[in-house]
Structure 1
Amino acid sequence: MSSLSKLAALTSTNKPTERMPVLFLGHGSPLNGIEENEFVQGFRTQGKQLNRPAAIVVVSAHWETKGTRVTAMKSPRTIHDFGGFPRELYEVRYPAPGNPALAKEISRLVKPEHTVLPDDKWGLDHGSWTVVKHLYPDADVPVIQLSLDYSLSPRQHYALARQLKSLRDKGVLIIGSGNLVHNLDMVEWRRLNEPYAYDWAIEANEKIKGYVLDGDHDSLINFNKQGKAFDLAIPTPEHYLPVLYSLALKDTNEEVMLFNDQPLGGSLSMTSLKIG
């Protein structure tokens, strides 16, 4: 039995969909793990509309490594990789199982330019569990994470992601988790809970959405050549790169739907995408 056959057999009593969509989720504050707001409601709505996957792969902004790694443990820990939040948030556990068979399959699929190594130390960081818990609150779908290799160029990230497309046909839901606009140094903290954005943040977010809807992936890959607004919106790439992973999995004829399309605190965007 192949590793993906084992995956389907071991992870679900329901028949997985023939082809899963792809998500990019603007994950925002870790508090989305415990708060009830419009963004959490948006995640929950998507969860209700999706068929139950055999497993989930999350590419989170919060796991950067030298070389690409994939979590390969049977029971990934819930990582509270943040500080200064209410005790209630640190007490949350999302005990979804892992899936070593899927981790092994990803290592097999990604070749020959890149090597994906198994990891038994990481787990599920807040870019993963604070959003996935709203999609599947029972924590009964296996979840693994794929890291961002900080030595790769944006085009190399995109090329790596394209090699994972066949997983969609095996009932695997792939999620990029970050934020299209993410500049913490310029957040207007007094307006963090308001749909407020600086002019440059609006400009960057609208252009990114335009490129997404037009299928202009080259412009999105070359985000560092798009001008001042993009430079301010993406001062460091880790929160932006997950959208490239999601878009790389899109077929030409597939539609993209936007949701949670709101700015916050001047310099953040919660804009999220569903592909397929």
Structure 2
Amino acid sequence: MTTTPSRQPAVFIGHGVPLNALEDNQWTRQWAALGAALPERPRAVLAVSAHWYIGATAVTTMAHPRTIHDFYGFPRELNEFDYPAAGAPELASEVAEVVRPTWVGEDRDSWGLDHGTWSVLAHVFPDADVPVAQLSVDASKPADYHFDLGTRLSALRDSGVLILASGNVVHNLAAVDPSLGDSGTDWAHRFDDHARALLTDRPEDAVSLLDHPDAGLAVPSADHFLPLLYTAGMAAGSGEKLDAFSEGYAWGSVSMTSYRSAA
């Protein structure tokens, strides 16, 4: 007897620094709790990471994606970290079908899993026993494009695919101040608080966040913000709202707030 998979939630993770892959802290414990609370183990993960920010929409199709260490200045242990999840090449055709007529390229060997994906999945699925594919964030497209793509990708959630977007709502590395620890600047709080109020009530208006007076400081470049629009699009397209979890800040100018579709 074939059973219908449970619908997977729409998820956005504020991933912060790569070192979170190795840390036991307030955020990584929330990521682990997310994995434990899923309705059932997904058949695959489709990750939308801020760190695959290119001029096209593409999905990985390799059977064994490599662990990409796309950073420097961190401990050797992190540079040697491996997340050996299998790939999910079958997702390429499914993604192409649900987002039609948008073109989606296939990446057979140039990418893999970057730290926006594996630093989070190391806690959500620590045994690396769920296949993973990545979807690129197209740097050449406007915000509406990414929101709309999320709306259409949401159909995959009903077939057991966890679509996990990874970035940061507030991400300004030029303004990082280690002395601020886990507190946020005034402008970071204003933007993050506005985002929380909007996303938990009207995710369909997520693109309007870029019109906020503090958006220039909170989102100086779009790469870490755009993954949020995929999760907002998934929720809005399904008539859902989002719940915030794993809230906080890193070094004043990075928001660690994460979201999932309301239960």
Q: Into which bin does the TM-score normalised by the smaller protein fall?
A: over 0.9
Structure-2 residue corresponding to 1:4: none
Structure-2 residue corresponding to 1:122: 111
Question: Residues 140 and 16 (structure 1 numbering): CA distance in 2 closer, same or farther, change over 3 Å?
Answer: farther
Q: Map of 1:7-22 to 2, 5 A cutoff?
A: 17-22=5-10
Separation in 2, partners of 1:100, 1:243 = 24
Separation in 2, partners of 1:252, 1:27 = 25
Separation in 1, partners of 2:253, 2:78 = 24
Separation in 1, partners of 2:173, 2:104 = 30
Q: Map of 1:152-171 to 2, 5 A cutoff?
A: 152-171=141-160
- On the 8 A contact 1:94/1:129 being kept in 2, the answer is yes
Separation in 2, partners of 1:90, 1:35 = 14
- On the 8 A contact 1:154/1:222 being kept in 2, the answer is no
Separation in 2, partners of 1:230, 1:175 = 24
Separation in 2, partners of 1:141, 1:162 = 23
From 205, 212, 220, give the equivalent of 2:199. Answer: 212
Structure-1 residue corresponding to 2:44: 55
Structure-2 residue corresponding to 1:79: 68
Q: Does 1:93 align with 2:82?
A: yes
Give CA deviations for 1:126-150 in whole Å, capped at 9, x if unaligned: 0000001101111110000000111
- On the 8 A contact 1:16/1:52 being kept in 2, the answer is no
- On the 8 A contact 2:203/2:233 being kept in 1, the answer is no
Question: Residues 141 and 16 (structure 1 numbering): CA distance in 2 closer, same or farther, change over 3 Å?
Answer: farther
Structure-1 residue corresponding to 2:13: 25
SS of the residue corresponding to residue 28 of structure 1 reads coil
Separation in 2, partners of 1:48, 1:224 = 33
Structure-2 residue corresponding to 1:180: 169
Structure-2 residue corresponding to 1:12: none
User: How many correspondences in the alignment?
Assistant: 258
Q: What TM-score does the superposition give when structure 2 sets the normalisation length?
A: 0.94
From 134, 159, 164, give the equivalent of 1:145. Answer: 134
- On the 8 A contact 1:99/1:144 being kept in 2, the answer is yes
Give CA deviations for 1:70-90 in whole Å, capped at 9, x if unaligned: 000000000000000000001
Cα offset, 1:36, TM superposition: 1.3
Cα offset, 1:30, TM superposition: 0.3
Separation in 2, partners of 1:35, 1:238 = 24
Give CA deviations for 1:1-37 in whole Å, capped at 9, x if unaligned: xxxxxxxx9xxxxx77321111100000000011111
- On the 8 A contact 1:58/1:175 being kept in 2, the answer is yes
Separation in 1, partners of 2:228, 2:34 = 17
Question: Residues 142 and 216 (structure 1 numbering): CA distance in 2 closer, same or farther, change over 3 Å?
Answer: closer
Cα offset, 1:169, TM superposition: 0.5
Ranges in structure 1 where 5+ consecutive residues have no aligned partner: 1-8, 10-14
Cα offset, 1:254, TM superposition: 2.8
Cα offset, 1:160, TM superposition: 1.6
Greater than 3 Å deviation, 4+ residue runs: none
Q: What TM-score does the superposition give when structure 1 sets the normalisation length?
A: 0.90
Aligned residues: CA RMSD: 1.5
Cα offset, 1:224, TM superposition: 2.9
SS of the residue corresponding to residue 164 of structure 1 reads helix
Separation in 2, partners of 1:187, 1:222 = 25
Structure-1 residue corresponding to 2:29: 41
- On the 8 A contact 1:16/1:54 being kept in 2, the answer is no
Q: Does 1:249 align with 2:238?
A: no
Farther-moved stretch of structure 1 (251-260 vs 141-150): 251-260
Cα offset, 1:222, TM superposition: 3.0
Cα offset, 1:162, TM superposition: 1.4
Q: Does 1:221 align with 2:210?
A: no
From 239, 244, 253, give the equivalent of 2:224. Answer: 239
SS of the residue corresponding to residue 173 of structure 1 reads strand
Identity rate, percent: 43
- On the 8 A contact 1:26/1:177 being kept in 2, the answer is yes
